[in-house]
Amino acid sequence: MAVKSAKLGSSRSLQKENFILADLQGSPNVLGYYGDDVSIEKGRQFYNLFLEYASLGSIGDRVRRCSRVGLPKVEVKGFTKGILKGLKHVHKSNYVHCDLKLDNVLLVQTSDGVVPKLEDFGLAKGVGKKKQQGSLRGTPLYMALESIHYAEYEPK
């Protein structure tokens, strides 16, 4: 199990991720979620999110380790298929991830092999929910141009 923690006063994004992950359970390509809790450490309150542990790290980690030779095509094909299955589940559940990048896809070893799992839903939004005027969500280097230019996150 892995634990994501933040001081309670600055845990809004983590609490939002908790709500969204609870909705998204049921897909083998979305990181497992086990609940949340508030703890007190040295007199300070912390919000904790309990998640599936991904011992293999992220696809970003894997790409950096293989930077000279690249990933084998069979791995790329499997990872792509898993990411698309995860996104299909996210979209069917009426969410948009808003920060999909190699470092937000974790790798978990299962009896069926290495499975890519989407994670980090702190910037995700519900489809049809109003956005804050002028707000951008995501990592600029990975954002679609239309998101940067028009702050769009949904299909028209």
Positions annotated as catalytic residues are: 99
Interatomic CA distance for residues 65 and 128, integer angstroms: 39
Where do the structural domains in the chain lie, given as residue ranges?
2-150
The DSSP secondary structure of 42-67, one letter per residue, reads TTEEEEEEEE---TT-BHHHHHHHTT
Query: Which amino acid belongs to residue 11?
Result: S
Asked if 47 contacts 36 with a C-beta cutoff of 8 angstroms, the reply is yes
What does each of the 156 residues of the chain score in pLDDT, given as a tens digit?
Answer: 999 999 999 999 999 999 999 999 999 999 999 999 999 999 999 999 999 999 999 999 999 999 889 999 999 999 999 999 999 999 999 999 999 999 999 999 999 899 999 999 999 999 876 655 455 555 555 555 455 445 555 544
We find that the CATH architecture of domain 2-150 is: Orthogonal Bundle (1.10)
